Structure 1
Amino acid sequence: MSDALINGLAGAGGGIIAQLLTYPLQTVNTRQQTERDPSEPSARDGTIRQMYQVVKQEGWERLYGGLTPSLVGTAASQGVYYYFYQVFRNRAETAAHDHWKKGIGDGSVGMFESLVVAALSGCVNVLLTNPIWVVVTRMQTHKKTDKKQVTCALPCVPDEAIQAAIIEHPSYRTSHVVQELYDEAGLWGFWKGVVPTLIMVSNPSIQFMLYETLLKKMKIKRASNRKGADGFTALEIFLLGAVAKLGATVVTYPLLVVKSRLQVKRGHDDDKRRQYKGTFDAITKMIRYEGLSGFYKGMSTKVVQSVFAAAVLFMVKEELVKAARFLVTGELRSINHSRSKARS
């Protein structure tokens, strides 16, 4: 089994575990990002309060709306990302090693090369998996309609059978969303928000650049202290992943808000302020009608959710990689050993 495939499968497994642990926070954060009316009570509620309101008004299951396609998307995204990341990383390390033999550089992959590797992996991932995330965003932002709301919305409809049909159809299944998207915009509808999402590749790119840089510095420090450079613990990987994701999230969060705005379903009665023709139109309208603060809605929730999820993902992924290598080769190697071996 190739190193890239091992990393891809481990990334998928780590992503699924991280998603299961943090999904309710992700659902609330998506709603915060797409809420545009500051007069609404939900726009002023904190994360815990908003989670309570969702459970009270819509039930526990709404915190997990879109979980199934999200898990599929997470497994696909992390699998694709880590697979191609390892492929590109191996090539970058080989090139750095060749340059070192010629007397150029120190034989290691630099910050810029790490950024390029992560960006290329991210672009491949986005183009392949964006349709899944459009469906997930729709399902996360869908809100159940209760009897009281339907009666008020349709006061002139005497046919109780029609109202009952609406009330008794609380599910918003993946197949419904797929059909809805296709009816709205054809196949292109599944790539809504792909432009800001491609720009958002800078998030994992920055994240991995910081992660690899911190990992490299810790390795050098350990070597200088004669403690050995191999064998990072799960806790150390957890903390490195958390710090790297925190830095990336703070820098790129406004783009995440724009992406969510473009992907969420719009009502026919929405005014022009809530209808976006594209990325640039969304940005200009948000600045005009909401101010710069609109780009940072729900950021505190996102920081908690994404930083914890990324830390768990990195930790679990590296443990799965070591376990897979042990099963395949009988060698319990760390990520640092495998990388340093290529340069020795």
Structure 2
Amino acid sequence: MSDALINGLAGAGGGIIAQLLTYPLQTVNARQQTDRETNKENNKLGTLQHMSKVVKHEGWGRLYKGLAPSLVGTVASQGVYYYFYQIFRDKAEAIALDRRKRGQGDGSVGMLSSLVVAALSGCVNVLLTNPIWVIVTRMQTHTKSSKKNHHRQASKTPEEIIAAIEPPPYGTSNAVQELYSEAGFLGFWKGVIPTLIMVSNPSMQFMLYETLLKKVKERRAMKKTGSNSVTALEIFLLGAVAKLGATVVTYPLLVVKSRLQAKQVAGADKKHHYEGTLDAIMKMIHNEGLGGFYKGMRTKIVQSVVAAAILFMIKEELVKGTRFLLGKNGLKTAVPKP
């Protein structure tokens, strides 16, 4: 089994566990990001308060809406990202070794090359898996909006009132049909431009992670303890710190992406309908101010930092275990989630 396949499978496994543990936070965050209004009660709610409100009005199941396609997306994203990362990383290492043979460099992959490898892997991942995440966003942000208007249904038959209060289930097929009717085949790549720009997130995360990891290993080597290996807990903490820094910098792009991928609001009010990335940015600035780009950031920080830390730790343990079972020695550096 190749290193690329080992890392791809380990990344997918770690991603599934991280996704299961943090999915309710993702659902709440998606709703916060796509809230197009200002001065609303929701803007004042904290993460746990918002979660409680969803449970109270829509039930526990709503916190896990879209989990199935999200798990598929996680497996696909982690598998694709780590698989191509390892392929690109191997090529970068081969180039570095060749340069050393020619008397150029020390044979190690530099920071710039590492960032390029992470960026290329992220771009491939985005282009291949974006349709899955559009569907997930649709399902996370779908609400039982008709329920709150049931008191206005006096003129309707009992059957119609029941249908309005309890609308039919909104599943994956409904989201796919709705999106295709709204925007056609290209609609499945809504938000792909800001998502491609978001590739800078794992690149920044990677840079921070690599820098911190190198310092930890150097400090351990200076103590001459006989081993500079990093523990699972240390990887957890390093992954959390690296993800925190990257998320704070790139969060506005994540909000724009979610706005584009969520269902467009129909009606005469054009401020809620986005024609594209630039149109979304301009309308958000005009109607919501800069604060609109940071809606739900506290929730996202908690979710993404915890998920990334769990992913790092589990992925590394899976890689170690797999290589041990296959009789392979050595452990290559982990890379962050896209």
TM range (shorter): over 0.9
What residue number does 1:110 align with? 110
Structure 1: which amino acid aligns with 2:173?
S
Q: Structure 1 unaligned segments of length 5 or more: list them.
A: 339-344
Q: Given that residues 73 and 129 in structure 1 are in contact (C-alpha distance below 8 angstroms), is that contact kept between their aligned partners in structure 2?
A: yes
Out of 154, 163, 166, the position equivalent to 1:165 is 163
| Alignment length (residue pairs) | 334
- 1:97 positional shift: 1.7
**Correspondences of 1:182-193 after superposition (within 5 Å):** 182-193=180-191
TM-score (norm: length of structure 1): 0.92
Q: Tell me what 1:29 maps to.
A: 29
Post-superposition CA distance 1:241-273 (Å, at most 9, x none): 111111110110000000001111123226111
For residue 331 of structure 2, what is the aligned residue in structure 1?
334
Runs of at least 5 residues in structure 2 that lack an aligned partner in the other structure = none
1:314 to 299, 312, 330: 312
Equivalent position of 2:300 in the other structure: 302
Q: Is the 8 A contact 2:217 2:230 kept in 1?
A: no
Contact 1:135 1:174 in 2 (8 A): yes
Distance 1:335 1:63, change over 3 A: same
User: Which residues in structure 2 correspond to 1:84-99 (within 5 Å)?
Assistant: 84-99=84-99
Deviates more, 1:3-12 or 1:38-47: 38-47
Q: Does 1:277 align with 2:285?
A: no
Indicate if the aligned counterparts of 1:47 and 1:301 stay in contact, CA closer than 8 A.
Answer: yes
**Over residues 36-89 of structure 1, what are the superposed CA-to-partner deviations in whole Å (9 max), with x where a residue is unaligned?**
212321121111110110010110111111111111101110110011111111
1:123 Cα offset (Å): 0.3
Decide whether aligned partners of structure 1 residues 264 and 168 sit closer, same or farther in structure 2, where only a CA change above 3 A counts.
same
Query: Per-residue deviation at 1:104?
Result: 1.8
Confirm whether residue 292 of structure 1 aligns to residue 303 of structure 2: no
Hey, what's the Cα distance between the residues in 2 that align with 1:229 and 1:275?
A: 57
Structure 1 residues 229 and 208, CA gap change in structure 2 (3 angstroms) = farther
Matched, 1:196 2:194: yes
Residue 45 in structure 1 maps to residue 45 in structure 2: yes
- Matching residue's letter, 1:262: L
Over 3 Å counting, the alpha-carbon distance change for 1:107 and 1:270 in structure 2 is farther
Deviates more, 1:63-72 or 1:30-39: 30-39
* 8 A contact 1:55–1:62 mirrored in 2: yes
Residue correspondence of structure 1 range 52-201 to structure 2 within 5 A: 52-145=52-145, 147-152=147-152, 154=153, 157-201=155-199
Closer, same or farther: CA 270–309 of 1 in aligned 2, 3 Å: farther
Cross-structure match for 1:342 = none
Tell me, in whole angstroms, the C-alpha distance in 1 between the residues paired with 2:143 and 2:176: 17
What letter corresponds to residue 128 of structure 1 in structure 2? L
* Deviation (angstroms), 1:186: 1.1
Displaced runs of 4 or more, over 6 A: none
Q: What letter matches 2:281 in structure 1?
A: I
What amino acid is the match of 2:159? A
The structural deviation recorded for 1:110 is 1.5
Post-superposition Cα deviations, 1:213-249, rounded to whole Å, max 9, x if no partner, equal 2222322332333234543110011111111111110
Say which SS state the counterpart of residue 319 (structure 1) adopts.
helix
Distance 1:148 1:284, change over 3 A: closer
Matches of 1:277 and 1:287 in 2, distance apart?
15
Counterpart contact for 1:33–1:261, Cα < 8 Å: yes
